[in-house]
A and B are shown apart, each in its own frame.
Chain A
Amino acid sequence: GENVEQHPSTLSVQEGDSAVIKCTYSDSASNYFPWYKQELGKGPQLIIDIRSNVGEKKDQRIAVTLNKTAKHFSLHITETQPEDSAVYFCAATLGSHNDMRFGAGTRLTVKP
């Protein structure tokens, strides 16, 4: 089955700095990679996703990069703000399957 490893487990940055979270996956057939942000007491919210036919995608301060050869993908948040503080989960899914496998999560703290 698919294994998704996520690092780091915790990340603390100063407001305005960049934050990078990295994930690796095991199944080379994986073709969809979403990132979710989960705030305390809430469900995960999709913030950006990427499919295997592109290497990078950007949406304002958030970007995701994908290296299919190395089987890893990363979330980049620039100009971080305190409201970016949350737990972030990466995930990977096979196109032919119904399930999605999540990383263990990264608790991001942005200090004002």
Chain B
Amino acid sequence: GAVVSQHPSRVICKSGTSVKIECRSLDFQATTMFWYRQFPKKSLMLMATSNEGSKATYEQGVEKDKFLINHASLTLSTLTVTSAHPEDSSFYICSARAGGGGNQPQHFGDGTRLSIL
């Protein structure tokens, strides 16, 4: 089946640090990648959608200068949390989808637990 690898799985760092999270599709080409944030015992909240070679589309309320997304290839997208603060602590999950539009499945990574001290 489709495999999505997300790294790192856990990050603990000081306030003010920038953190980069990588999302890779290992056995398929991901035309579109998604970044979600999940709070404890809550559902997934879509942050942004990125298509390979294009600028990401951010959901309302998500600061694009705070959460930098790069989707430079069909197998890699990165999310950089710039100048992270304790309120940015959360579980971040990426997903990837091959071509075919919205009626194709998204395949998720195992998430990154970000803790800002």
Contacts and interface: CB of A to CB of B under 8 A. Distances in A.
Residues of A contacting B: mostly: strand
Q: Which of B4, B41, B106 has the most CB of A within 10 A?
A: B106
A43 B102 contact: no
A49 B71 CA distance: 27
Contact of B34 (A34, A94, A99): A99
Contacts of B41: 107
Contacts, number: 65
B6 interface: yes
Given A43-B110, A44-B93, A44-B108, A94 B102 contact: yes
Interface string B94-110: 01000001111111111
Nearest to B104: A32
A57 interface: no
Interface string B31-54: 010100000011110100101000
A74 to B, nearest CB: 18
B111 A89 contact: no
B102 A98 contact: yes
B6 A93 contact: no
Nearest to A105: B43
A96 B103 CA distance: 8
A58 interface: no
A46 B107 contact: yes
14 contacts: A32-B102, A43-B4, A43-B108, A43-B109, A44-B93, A46-B106, A95-B101, A98-B32, A98-B34, A98-B51, A99-B49, A104-B43, A105-B42, A105-B43
